[in-house]
């Protein structure tokens, strides 16, 4: 079964009136009209999203700097294909780290979305800040795995 994601939309008063008129005209439920319109729109869109294999994903570290508030900890920044990432690596493993390890914070984000929305959380595909805010989805998982493999090498 194929899962279809739909975005929440808000109709204005004029659109609601037109939808009511259309439903009164043909006797259909207004929700049926909306569903049909969304389905028609989605058919016209390219909705096939392929998940890349980890070996096809390029990841590299672009910066490393010590954390001023946590002795022995350091921040790593980098790129993973079209995304950017940053991570806080602690000196010792921690209960609050990913899998009780040394990585205490990790963000993987889309810089294009960040620039257009100016919102950090809206542009993240993965965010861990001493706990999961945004877990890796099936689409984000290969990028997350690639970054984690890179960070594990640095953390040794």
7 falls within a domain: no
3 falls within a domain: no
Residue 50 confidence (pLDDT): 77
8 A C-beta contact, residue 87 and residue 76: yes
90 falls within a domain: yes
Tokens of 112: 């294009």
Range(s) of the domain holding residue 40: 13-44
Residue 121 confidence (pLDDT): 86
Helix, coil or strand: residue 30: helix
Please say if the pLDDT value at position 5 is more than 60: no
Please say if the pLDDT value at position 2 is more than 50: no
Do 93 and 145 sit in the same domain of this protein? Answer: yes
Q: 83 φ, ψ to 5°? A: -100, 160
1 falls within a domain: no
Model confidence at 82, pLDDT cuts 50, 70, 90, reads very high
pLDDT tens sequence across 86-127: 999 999 999 999 999 999 999 999 999 999 888 888 899 999
Distances (CA, A) of 10 to 41, 50, 101, 117: 16, 30, 43, 19
Do 90 and 149 sit in the same domain of this protein? Answer: yes
Tokens of 22: 């259309």
């Amino acid at each position: 079964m194929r899962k279809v994601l739909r975005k929440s939309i808000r109709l204005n008063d004029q659109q609601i009136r037109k939808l009511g008129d259309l439903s009164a005209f043909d006797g259909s439920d207004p929700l049926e009209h909306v569903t049909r319109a969304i389905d028609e729109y989605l058919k016209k869109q390219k909705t096939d999203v392929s998940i890349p294999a980890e070996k096809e994903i390029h990841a590299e570290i672009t910066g490393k700097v010590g954390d001023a508030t946590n002795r022995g900890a350091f921040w790593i920044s980098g790129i993973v294909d079209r995304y950017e990432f940053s991570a806080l690596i602690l000196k010792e493993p921690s209960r609050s780290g990913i899998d009780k390890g040394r990585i205490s914070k990790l963000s993987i984000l889309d810089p294009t979305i960040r620039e257009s929305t100016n919102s950090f959380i809206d542009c993240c595909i993965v965010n861990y800040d001493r706990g999961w805010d945004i877990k890796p989805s099936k689409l984000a998982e290969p990028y997350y795995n690639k970054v984690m493999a890179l960070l594990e090498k640095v953390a040794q």
